Amino acid sequence: ELSEKLEATFARLRGRGVLTDADIKDGLREVRRVLLEADVSFQLTGEFLARVEKRAVGVTQLKSVSPAQQLVKIVYDELTLMLGERKEGLKLSSVPPTVVLMVGLQGSGKTTTSAKLARKLKAEGKATRLVAADVYRPAAIDQLETLGRDLQVPVYADRGTQDVVKIAKAGIEQGKKERDRVVIIDTAGRTQIDDEMMQELRRVKEAVQPDEILLVADGMTGQDAVRIAQGFNDAIGVTGVILTKMDGDARGGAALSIYGVTKKPIKYIGVGEKPDALEEFHPDRMAGRILQQGDVLTLVEKAQGAFDADEAKRMEKKIKKEGMDLQDFLSAMKQMEKLGSMQNILKMLPGVNSKVLAQASKVDPKRMKHLEAIVLSMTAQERKKPELLNGSRRARVAKGSGRPVSEVNRLLEQFREMQKMMKRMAVKR
Ligand code: GDP
Ligand code: MG
């Protein structure tokens, strides 16, 4: 994994006071290996290292506190540049409706992402319409209509024709009539790039002159990411990219490659199957995530959205004053339940290792009830001072809550991990 390997390299470098030229060479060689293993192309990796190397000259001369830290900063800055430098949102046209054409391979997430985007725009107060222009599989139209119905977003579909241009035009026409702000056209994909698909997309593009052509690409694809992105960009010219499935294991490689070949901004990332699992893409945060320095900002924003603000404030104050106890742990778990999958959140925290992730991912809503039962079976004193919980007390709690002792132990272990994380976050702030 890219992040873990980079982290290991930099941990080694960070531990030292001085850096020699040889150290830098070693460090960069490691970075190179890591990037190539993450399926970043040779060319891109080479360009990246050349830039880092150029800036790293002179770092050894610095008598500052930590030259290694300086090097990390350079790598971080350059990674950010390689991911697009600035965050860019959807470009809205001054004359509504803004027309967004979604393109990509089959299964990349076009339909799901169209719905996610519509949901987001609607939440911003922009009336949005979806257009079902994937006519080759009837199920594709059904899928979009179902999503639209759930989100209460209108969907234009016409099962009476296979003329995609006609459908797209009619959908936009309807959007105009209904004074929609945005019209999103969901198109068909194939399992691989082919001429017929590109020709059809080109015809739609010429007919409707979209304001945005967004390439929806699977963030888990490795080497193929470059070829796919280049294929679409060369054939129809994309204006932006949405990377999906960024909730999986692959983090970074595809983003680097796709921006590298297209130089078109990555605008959003998909982080789950649900309609709310779409986030803005921040190059600097992604660089940070790649470097495993943690994406605390995104976490905080997310938390602000979903946390009960009063409860959060009360907790923060209390934790600052008296430390975290099991009651807080339970509240925190409940809050996090609201934030979506635990995995997503923990991945953004600095220094969270895969062991913790594996454990934490076991906390699903069903387990919340069990956690609660366990904590409620403790005495108030035990909740405040978990270290009181020796073997016999644990057995009593297990019996009281009707859960196995192993589960009580696991809870306490998670609690300790969270305590550690809270400390790390407190230091960051
Ligand atoms: P399309 O063929 O390009 O329209 O792809 P779909 O929108 O039908 O998505 C294909 C599959 O990928 C579906 O099972 C989606 O739920 C899933 N999917 C899409 N985006 C994401 C994402 O961000 N994360 C995860 N985990 N799954 C996703
Ligand atoms: Mg589809």
Give me the architecture of the 2-82 domain, per CATH.
Up-down Bundle (1.20)
Which of helix, strand or coil describes residue 427? helix
Considering only CA atoms, which of 202, 268, 265, 272 is closest in space to residue 237?
202
Helices (H), 2-63: 2-14, 21-37, 42-56
**Which residue carries 């779409």 as its tokens?**
278
Every domain of the chain with CATH number 3.40.50.300 lies at: 98-291
Q: Let me know: does 213 contact 239? Beta carbons within 8 Å.
A: yes
Superfamily of chain region 98-291: P-loop containing nucleotide triphosphate hydrolases (3.40.50.300)
Pairing mode, strands 278-280 and 266-270? antiparallel
Centre of ligand 2 to C-alpha 136, Å, is 10
Centre of ligand 1 to C-alpha 170, Å, is 26
Ligand 1 atom closest to the CA of 143, numbered from 1: 8
**Which residue carries 């590109």 as its tokens?**
198
Residue of 214, 244, 249 to test ligand 1 pocket, by largest number of atoms within 8 Å of CB = 244
**Cα(369)–Cα(89) distance, integer angstroms:** 39
Considering only CA atoms, which of 12, 11, 10, 25 is closest in space to residue 60?
25
Considering only CA atoms, which of 85, 96, 144 is closest in space to residue 275?
144
CATH 1.10.260.30, domain 299-428, yes or no: yes
Considering only CA atoms, which of 188, 207, 192, 221 is closest in space to residue 102?
188
DSSP type of residue 257: H
Encode the chain (429 residues) as per-residue pLDDT tens digits. 555 655 566 555 555 555 667 767 767 777 777 677 767 778 888 888 888 888 877 665 555 445 556 667 777 788 889 899 788 999 999 999 999 999 999 999 999 999 999 999 999 999 999 999 999 888 999 999 999 999 999 999 999 999 999 999 999 999 999 999 999 999 999 888 899 999 999 999 999 999 999 999 998 887 788 889 999 999 999 999 999 998 866 557 788 889 988 999 999 999 999 999 999 999 988 887 766 544 444 443 444 444 455 666 666 677 777 777 887 777 777 666 655 444 555 555 544 444 554 554 445 666 778 888 898 889 888 988 889 999 999 999 999 888 999 999 999 988 888 777 766 655 544
Helices (H), 38-109: 42-56, 67-82
Is 348 annotated to bind ligand? Answer: no
Six token digits for residue 70 = 């300086």
Closest ligand, as measured to the CA of 188: 2
DSSP type of residue 386: G
Every domain of the chain with CATH number 1.10.260.30 lies at: 299-428
Pocket of ligand 1 (CB under 6 A): 104, 106-112, 189, 244-245, 247, 270-273, 277
Every domain of the chain with CATH number 1.20.120.140 lies at: 2-82
Task: Give per-residue burial for 130-152: e unless 16+ CB within 10 Å, then b.
Answer: bbbbbbeeeebbebbbebbeebe
- Omega of the bond leading into 97 within 30 degrees of 0 (cis): yes
Residue of 102, 103, 112 to test ligand 1 pocket, by largest number of atoms within 8 Å of CB = 112
Which residues are placed with Cβ below 5 angstroms of ligand 2, an ion? Answer: 110-111, 140
